[in-house]
Amino acid sequence: MKKIFLMGFIGLFLACSSGISKEDLNKLDGYWEITQVTFPDGNIKEYKVNTSIDYISMDGDEGYRKKMQPRLDGTYRTSDDAEAFVIVGKENDFSINYKTELSEWSEKLVELDDTTFSVLNEEGIRYDYKRFEPISIQKDGEEKK
């Protein structure tokens, strides 16, 4: 019985590993919007509409994350506040380590592809994101881009 439990635990652990390669990390570069947050107790908060999005800029293993507010004209409003980070990894397991003047924290990168990514913070809260696609509102007589 103990062997079955141990094998099940190992299988679950391997299934939860990210499988993210170092080459995948540049996919983080760009604009992202949160889709849902999953809490440790299983409760889920979904985000249908976002008034702000995250802009992530990467340069090697370092970068920053900044909150942006998209405007209807295709521009963005933002402040000068940015959260600097360093990505630390071993094999296919990567963490995003943030440091600001006020705080330090880490998030484990659990999924990453061209259109989505997910992180798990130190409190066991999972954040799921999708690549942001701006809304294009056309005026009468204009062609849609």
Burial of 35 (0-12, 13-18, 19+ CB in 10 A): middle
144 pLDDT above the threshold of 70: no
Please report which helix (H) or strand (E) contains residue 16, including its range: helix 2-16
Instruction: Report the pLDDT averaged over residues 7-15.
Output: 40
Length of the chain: 145
Tokens of 115: 């259109």
Tokens standing for residue 143: 């062609």
Question: Which carries the bigger pLDDT value, residue 16 or residue 108?
Answer: 108
Q: Which residues of 117-140 are buried (b: 16+ CB within 10 A; e: fewer)?
A: bbbbeeeeebbbbeebeeeeeeee
Residue 67 in this model has a pLDDT that exceeds 60: yes
Mean pLDDT score across all residues of the chain: 85
Question: Is pTM, for the whole model, over 0.95?
Answer: no
What's the one-letter identity of residue 124? G
Residue 3 CA to residue 56 CA, distance in Å, equals 44
What pLDDT score was predicted for residue 72? 82
14 pLDDT band, cuts 50/70/90, is very low
Over the stretch 32-56, which tens digit does the pLDDT of each residue have? 999 999 999 999 999 998 999 999 9
More confident residue, 93 or 140: 93
The residue with greater pLDDT, 136 or 145, is 136
For residues 46 and 95, what is the distance between their CA atoms, to the nearest angstrom? 24
* Terminal-residue alpha carbon distance, the chain: 61
State mean pLDDT over 66-94: 89
Q: Write phi, then psi, for 42 (nearest 5 degrees).
A: 95, -10
